[in-house]
Structure 1
Amino acid sequence: MKQRLVVLPDHGQLMVSADLHGNMQDLLALEAHFERLRSSSSNVHWVLLGDLVHGPDSAARARQPELYDFPDESFAVVDHVGKLQAAWPGNVHLLLGNHDHGHVGGVHTSKFHHDEVEHLESTLSADQRARLVAVLEGAALVAIAPCGVLLAHGSPDASLFDVHAVNSLDLDPRNNDRHGQWLLSSLLGSYGQPDAVTREVLEHAGRSAGMDLRVVVHGHDRDEAGFFVEGEHQVCAVVFGAPPRNKRFVVLDLAARYPDAHAFREGHEVLRLYPTA
């Protein structure tokens, strides 16, 4: 089994970005921020929270151009992330999203096309499909850091009580037991949880990892405001689904402590992708 858990260090900086859905311009803008961080420190980690693929169709672009007027460059995005991982091994980490999952054993999504997996793969050569699958199959499912954060595509429910359990998961749900199927589904498909559930998840997951975990940072959701907090312990910084002026990502100090979601401050930990838009 591949390692699906990323354990981040207790020093350096951590950049976190959420769903891209085929937007190459946003990926390159994030890469520029990553390079700026690296210019002052070599110990910088970047965690992408998944959903690299499946951009808007022409109808969505026409209907809401302020949100969706960009070309779907899903393969180029995945391929570029793979190159970033090769260039910075151990520093650029990809977590799997539910849209990505469809290409490596998961449910085929239908956000912008009836079968988005089939739609994308029908445009690829055999070599391109193999490269797409290689990057997505290598994705992790959860990342944790001693600064107090747990990162995943979705905001997990009580099925996550031992972070090491993700290393036993098969990306084909049929090959997992009932709990494994529940856990995989939660990590990839859950939206915000009741605060009591997230507190329990963080307590149990943290105990299993020997860390005091306090905040879930997730993607999967969208908000035109670009950032939202759920309860005391969940945050979501939005790239896809927000207008350019509101797109946001997160930068954390891995040597600090983040006791709750309110420690994520605008202009400090929460940054705009396009500050002059």
Structure 2
Amino acid sequence: MLPAVRRVVVLPERGKLIVATDLQGNVADFDRVAEIYEEAARKRDGAVLVITGDLVHGPELSEAQWPDYLGSYYLGDSGTVLERARLLAERHPGRVHYLLGNHEHAHVGGPVVSKFFPDEARRLEDLLGYEGTQAMREWLCTWPFVALAPRANLVMLHAAPHARIESRNDLERLPLDGFFDVPLEEMANRGALGALLWARTTSTERARSFLRAIDPNARVAIYGHDVARNGYAIDREPLLCISTSFGCFDGDKLYLEWDLDEPADSAADVARRGLRPLYPAAPPVYRID
């Protein structure tokens, strides 16, 4: 039986908010996010960190095998990312939040994902061993689905806000299991949880309905899941997709920094005022498509 946990975490009303997305086993990028957060946490009013899922399941390729579409080279090491993520949360209790992504869900009731291995979850669990796997699963089961910054009017989740819900309480009752055999192409339309973890976009109307259900004042949904090659994308209001790590070159990787007591008006407003380069010294990569 899964433990009783809160699936919507409500963030403080003061301090800095740091948001990062989709690290997928990139240790260097996780360390950089942790460095940014801990620097912000030392300032007046402190800071909170939200990583919107998919910390795990990265490529294990040599540089010679590395395809250009994956961005800057790294050797995926999900076990180390999870270890450092847990230590960071322990150093800052109640201030560091990891949201469940579709890759974490593969370990606790979700379908098989096979980006770099036939079964990404099995690959990581083989590396962790029995005890490590059990500890990981117990921890993942406690991760929220959504983070709400009430004064900032921001809602963070893993994928686009496509889920049909009436209130945030609907998320508290969602089971994690029962999705193992669902084809991946059907997951975004398999109830609220499938939409939360797999939808790449949604309509303005449906997104705003989701935001109102979480909080009547919410204005912007911040998520990852998809790869925004230049670091972010606004498909339409109120959707802000950010790419902090996976699939991007270092010069294109972005994270969000926002004052928790500063109301956001729109996705465009948040992108203009809140996005920061993960590696300020790295030049952006210009492409001709």
Q: Please give the per-residue CA displacement for 1:66-113, whole angstroms capped at 9, x wherever unaligned.
A: 615211110111121111111111100010000011111111101111
Matched, 1:12 2:37: no
Partner of 1:256: 262
Q: CA deviation at 1:59?
A: 7.5
Say yes or no: does 1:32 pair with 2:35: yes
Structure 2: distance between partners of 1:173 and 1:258: 37
Looking at structure 2, the residues matched to 151 and 272 of structure 1 have their Cα atoms a distance apart, in angstroms, of 19
State the partner residue of 1:123. Answer: 127
Tell me whether 22-31 or 106-115 shows the greater mean CA deviation. Answer: 106-115
Change (3 A) 1:55 1:223: same
Match of 1:55 among 33, 53, 58: 58
| Cα gap change, 1:265 to 1:182, in 2 (>3 Å) | closer
Query: Contact between 1:15 and 1:45, CA under 8 Å: does it hold in 2?
Result: yes
For residue 86 of structure 1, the aligned residue among 68, 86, 90 is: 90
Q: What number of residue pairs does the alignment pair up?
A: 268
Taking the TM superposition and a 5 Å limit, the aligned residue runs for 1:1-277 are 1-58=4-61, 61-64=65-68, 67=71, 69-146=73-150, 147-173=152-178, 182-207=191-216, 212-239=217-244, 240-266=246-272, 268-277=273-282
* Unaligned runs of at least 5 residues, structure 2: 180-188, 283-289
Provide the identity percentage.
30
2 CA distance for matches of 1:151 and 1:173?
25
Runs of 4+ with >3 A deviation = none
What is the DSSP-based 3-state SS (H/G/I as helix, E as strand, rest coil) of the residue aligned with 1:144? strand
- TM-score, normalised to structure 1, is 0.90
Q: Measure, in 1, the Cα distance between the counterparts of 2:164 and 2:8.
A: 15
Q: 1:196 Cα deviation (Å)?
A: 2.1
In structure 2, C-alpha distance between the alignment counterparts of 1:196 and 1:34, rounded to whole Å: 33
In structure 2, distance between residues paired with 1:65 and 1:57: 15
Q: Which runs of 5+ in 1 are unaligned?
A: 175-179
Counterpart contact for 2:72–2:250, Cα < 8 Å:
no
**Secondary structure of the corresponding residue to residue 77 of structure 1:** helix
Secondary structure of 1:192's aligned partner: coil
Query: Partners in 2 of 1:217 and 1:265 — Cα distance?
Result: 10
- What's the C-alpha RMSD, in Å, of the aligned pairs? 2.0
Q: Matched residues in 1 for 2:172 and 2:70: separation?
A: 39
Q: Deviations over 1:191-219 (max 9, x none)?
A: 11122221222233324xxxx01000011
Shift in Å, 1:43: 2.6
| One-letter code aligned to 1:214 | R
State the SS of the aligned residue for 2:172.
helix
Partner SS, residue 234 of structure 2: strand
Give TM-score scaled by structure 2 length.
0.87
Measure the CA separation in 2 of the matches of 1:54 and 1:104.
14
Alignment match, 1:177: none
- Aligned partner letter, 1:189: W
Aligned to 2:285: none
Distance 1:152 1:66, change over 3 A: closer
